[in-house]
Amino acid sequence: MRSFRNSQRIALEYNANEKASALTGASPHVVSNFKLSLRSRIALKLVHPDLVSVVTRAIEITTVDFIVTQGARTVAEQRHFVEIGASRTMNSRHLPANNESGLAEAIDVMPIVNGVLKDNLCPVVALAFYSAARELEVPLQWGGDWPYRWKDTNHFELKRGSRPSHSRKLRVS
Ligand SMILES: [Zn+2]
């Protein structure tokens, strides 16, 4: 029986077959059975509506369930994250005050399969996020695609320098 808390060990026990089937099953038009948990919806408080719309669409099309672990952070929380090495900057877009919108423009997610946290499946969840962002025409950046050595695969943010489109072009077909 795997320990729910031991996500580090679980990440090392990554099962390639599981990822392969998740990838091949991916289709942006198939609606998943996953729903945002209450915890996820609470975490989306004070998050920019464009990013909320991407999350809301991503949970419908993802092949791997996920929870939103954090949206807005306080300065004190961010300072703590920098101190423990979980973040590299106080200029984080998790801090509403850092953004022109006055809202958090970044979120962190954690994939979850049968109640087990699956950090290693972040790239699969990212497929759903990018697909949702494309549909909604929201410029999105995944931390796993950051152009420097340190990646943050749990992290998604509205692209810096882009003005969120506010478009809501959900495909109906
Ligand atoms: Zn983050």
Give CA separation, 41 vs 1, 6, 26, 45, in Å: 29, 25, 24, 7
What pTM was computed for the model? 0.76
Distance 156 CA to ligand 1 centre (A): 7
pLDDT, residue 147, reads 86
Distance 173 CA to ligand 1 centre (A): 33
CATH class given for the domain over 4-158: alpha beta
Give the pLDDT confidence of 116-165 residue by residue, as tens digits. Answer: 999 999 999 999 999 999 999 999 999 999 888 889 999 999 998 765 54
Distance 78 CA to ligand 1 centre (A): 10
Does the pLDDT of residue 94 top 80, yes or no? yes
Work out the pLDDT band at 43, boundaries 50, 70, 90.
Answer: very high
Distance 55 CA to ligand 1 centre (A): 14
169: which 2 tokens? 């072009």
Q: Output b/e per residue, 54-84; b: 16+ Cβ within 10 A.
A: bbbbbbbbbbbbbbbebbbbeeeebeebeee
Domain segments of the chain as ranges: 4-158
pLDDT, residue 100, reads 92
Give the pLDDT confidence of 69-81 residue by residue, as tens digits. Answer: 999 999 999 999 9
Distance 69 CA to ligand 1 centre (A): 9
Distance 169 CA to ligand 1 centre (A): 26
